[in-house]
Amino acid sequence: MNNIIDGTKISLKIRKQVKTLLKKENITPCLAVIQVGDNKASLVYIKNKKKACEDVGIRFEHIKFNDTISEDLVINEIKRLNNDISVNGILVQLPLPEGFDEGKIINQIDPLKDVDGLTYPNVGNLVLENDCLVPCTPLGVMELLKAYKINLATKNVCLVGRSNLVGKPLIQLLLKEDATLSICHSKSLDIKNYTTKADVLIVAAGHPNLITKNMVKEGAVVIDVGINKEGNLLCGDVDFKEVSKKASLITPVPGGVGPMTVSCLLKNVVKAYKLQN
């Protein structure tokens, strides 16, 4: 199929650019990842981040706490990392165990080191279109659209999902590119009414195979951000097999947006380094 958007290929290209830049400028940025508890998925994500960092020449620190630790001690560790000039990026691996206040903890991170783009100053700057650190998955979606030369200024774009991590930042990034935007979510009554009008359909709902063939406009570009487990298999929020027959371009799961998230994290670590120096 020649209508597949190859996220793996584009992400490797980004990694190569980052590696070349670090070598050329002879710099070694550092990313510190804080983990609380033993979430299995988190361990996989952290392993992927560590490997990606080491591949391009970013120093990686993994700070792991038991879920019995107090919130105050996690905050103290963040403050220590904020003050450590050798650390350029700080990331708290989500989700945190029950009882932890995610918002409170994340907002202890120095906005210039907030490589996930989740602190209030970065969220505010994104809305105001000021230069800032942007969440990695939305950034990855925009990089894919750019790589495939999809001009959003003339397009109807439908976004399904409004999470703080993906949906809301994407709203701002799409508006910045002058897209005409409709947003659907779990309380929307008839999402088909919106999705069938979309030239570009971006789905980040966390609901396996939510989007079926009859919900997609002929020739649409479909970006599937969802990663769901069905038995032992990974699937997206879009019924790939059927929708790919109608879409002009479509991201697979896995191999679409997923690899872009980690590569955009590497870009953010480099950007954070430059903002600090």
Q: Are 35 and 62 in contact (CB under 8 A)?
A: yes
Q: Are strands 30-36 and 59-65 parallel, antiparallel or unpaired?
A: parallel
Q: Are 90 and 61 in contact (CB under 8 A)?
A: no
Active site residue 24: no
Q: How far apart are CA 15 and CA 21, in angstroms?
A: 10
C-alpha dihedral, 42 to 45 to 51 to 52, nearest 10°? -140
As beta bridge partners, residue 61 has 32
Active site residue 79: no
Catalytic residue among 108, 114, 116, 271: 116
Taken as a whole, the chain contains a residue count of: 277
3-class DSSP state of 239: coil
Q: Are 7 and 251 in contact (CB under 8 A)?
A: yes
- Nearest C-alpha neighbor of 133 from the set 146, 148, 149, 121: 121
Q: How far apart are CA 82 and CA 75, in angstroms?
A: 10
Q: How far apart are CA 198 and CA 196, in angstroms?
A: 6
Buried b (16+ CB within 10 A) or exposed e, 106-123: bbbbbbbbbbbbbbeebb
Catalytic residue among 93, 155, 224, 271: 93
Active site residue 49: yes
Q: How far apart are CA 168 and CA 170, in angstroms?
A: 5
Hey, which residues are catalytic here?
49, 93, 116
